[in-house]
Amino acid sequence: MLNKKTILITGGTGSFGKKCTEIILNKYKPKKLIIFSRDELKQFEMAQMFSDKKYPCMRYFIGDVRDSERLLRAFSGVDYVIHAAALKHVPACEYNPFEAVKTNILGAENIINAAINCGVKKVIALSTDKAANPVNLYGASKLCSDKLFIAGNSYSGRHKAIFSVVRYGNVMGSRGSVIPFFLKLKKTGTLPITDPRMTRFWITLEQGVVFVLNCFDQMVGGELFVPKIPSMNILDLAKAIAPKCKTKIVGIRPGEKLHEIMVPRDEARTTLEYKDHYIIQPDLRFFSNRFKKNNGKPVVNDFEYNSNTNKWWLTIDELKSMVRSL
């Protein structure tokens, strides 16, 4: 589906964008692959990995999702957009709330308007488990962003653009994740643990990218995709990374949850289950025809996809193997 198409990735110099670029270049033959991001240094460094000499389809655009005019220029002639740009660090968003709103919410609005005006065919926005029943500003801003992208399908009207959202858990080894943090502190002999009961959904970078690209093929617009992925316990992760280290309980940080949710109980009535994922259908009734041929199985009314009650768990040995792979 991506062959001979023009694809743009916002936040393309981040962990997801780099892995997504690598997989697209290895598996497909795009007409153009545009990296759209703010940081010229990161673009320069990425261009050393994926140069336009080796990969003539590569383009690097400096820009910010807050800048609607720049997005209109960047989206000209684009077929598909993967929206990965976001302010995502929970403490930073708590301390800089206006900045989180400008990027995560107003940036989403700009993406939607630019996609509709420029004739983009499909847009997938990346979300987070923190957007389900949010307790911090990052999660709240991403929930608002999710709602905007789903509603973007009704704004599109007679235009081509359709919008969907992908929601998944913590990405192993991504920038700012707990694994690099623990590896750095391993030599001190002590690892800080927020709470020994804490659980998280866990996905590798490659799994996340492959799931997003598969969703491009399946999407009809308006749905929210949730992959079936394993959970892990934070204390098990510490043992996998540094079994000889002591642990120090430091308490949950502002805006953190003990457990994460990807499908809230209140959304069970619109959730369909498939072999390897769930789809949360939109509440808007005029989208219902899009899902008539959708062969998913409705979940039970009190269903909730929670990292603590998940049936699939990573063992310490599995976590060790995943950490070694990094």
**Tally of domains in the chain:** 1
Task: pLDDT band for 263, please (50, 70, 90 cuts).
Answer: very high
> Is the model's pLDDT at 175 over the cut of 80?
no
Of 178-182, 242-246, 304-308, minimum mean pLDDT range: 178-182
> Is the model's pLDDT at 288 over the cut of 80?
no
The answer to whether residue 239 sits within a structural domain is no
Average pLDDT over every residue of 99-124: 97
> Is the model's pLDDT at 65 over the cut of 90?
yes
Average pLDDT over every residue of 80-88: 96
Return the active site residues: 130
The residues facing 68 across adjacent strands are none
Pairing of strands 199-204, 231-233: antiparallel
> Is the model's pLDDT at 254 over the cut of 90?
no
> Is the model's pLDDT at 284 over the cut of 90?
no
The answer to whether residue 1 sits within a structural domain is no
The answer to whether residue 18 sits within a structural domain is yes
Q: What are the start-end ranges of the E strands in the chain? A: 6-10, 32-37, 58-62, 80-83, 122-126, 162-166, 170-172, 190-193, 199-204, 224-227, 231-233, 246-249, 261-263, 271-273, 277-280, 297-298, 305-306
Task: pLDDT band for 170, please (50, 70, 90 cuts).
Answer: confident
- Looking at residue 220, its pLDDT comes to 92
Could you tell me the pTM of the whole model? 0.93
The answer to whether the Cα torsion of 12, 15, 19, 22 is positive or negative is: positive
- Looking at residue 286, its pLDDT comes to 64
CA atoms within 13 A on the CB side of 107: 24
Average pLDDT over every residue of 19-38: 97
- Looking at residue 326, its pLDDT comes to 72
Are 37 and 63 in contact by the 8 Å Cβ rule? The answer is: yes
Residue, of 237 and 254, whose pLDDT is higher: 237
The answer to whether residue 233 sits within a structural domain is no
The answer to whether residue 180 sits within a structural domain is no
- Looking at residue 176, its pLDDT comes to 64
Average pLDDT over every residue of 28-55: 96
Average pLDDT over every residue of 296-304: 93
Helix-, strand-, coil-residue percentages of the chain, each rounded to 5: 40, 20, 35
The answer to whether residue 254 sits within a structural domain is no
- Secondary structure class of 200 (helix, strand, coil): strand
> Is the model's pLDDT at 292 over the cut of 70?
no
The answer to whether residue 177 sits within a structural domain is no
- Looking at residue 281, its pLDDT comes to 93
Range of the domain at 22: 6-169+203-228+262-306
**CATH number of 285's domain:** 3.40.50.720
Q: Using one digit for the tens of pLDDT, what is the confidence trace for 200-235?
A: 999 999 999 999 999 998 999 999 999 999 999 999
The answer to whether residue 186 sits within a structural domain is no
Q: Tell me, rounded to whole angstroms, the distance of Cα 171 from its chain centroid.
A: 9
